[in-house]
Copies of this chain bind each other. A is one copy, B any other.
Amino acid sequence: MTPISCRQRELTIGELSERSGVPTSALRFYEREGLIHSRRTSGNQRRFGRDMLRRIAFVRVSQRVGIPLAMIRDALGLLPEGRTPTREDWARLSQCWHDDLTSRITQLERLRDNLTDCIGCGCLSIDRCLLANPDDVLSQRGSGPQRVFTE
């Protein structure tokens, strides 16, 4: 009943790095941060399952969207444990980002149009117009809660 031998070979960190395009230093960092996992050989080296490739892909895409790692980790925590995630699992996760992206796009458009208005109308009140209602468009890059999802 056990499958013949189509056994997916595990990947070393170097192989994972090459296939994912992510430096080994970053991969170790991701593991420390709980974004990916590995088993260890008897000699204490990491061996990654192929599914980690997809996790890494998800991480990088999410980062491009501007989502901090901690939040990505939380999202990955929603994946089922024990079994390999299905397409539906990934779709559910990605749907979050899709909604978030739409919301960000809307906010950026608002900001852009406000900017145009302020310049166009000659009110010269960049400060009043644009700072009065801080839409919290993009990360306050430093500390503080990120509030990426529209709460």
Contacts and interface: CB of A to CB of B under 8 A. Distances in A.
Interface of A: 20-21, 53-54, 56-58, 60-61, 63-66, 87, 90-91, 94-95, 97-98, 101-102, 104-105, 108-109, 111-112, 115-116, 118-119, 122, 124, 126-127, 130-131, 134-141
Contacts of A53: 127
A138 B57 CA distance: 16
B101 A138 contact: no
The SS class assigned to the A binding surface is helix
Contacts of A56: 127
A119 B112 CA distance: 30
B64 A126 contact: no
B108 A94 contact: no
Contacts of A108: 65, 101, 104-105, 108
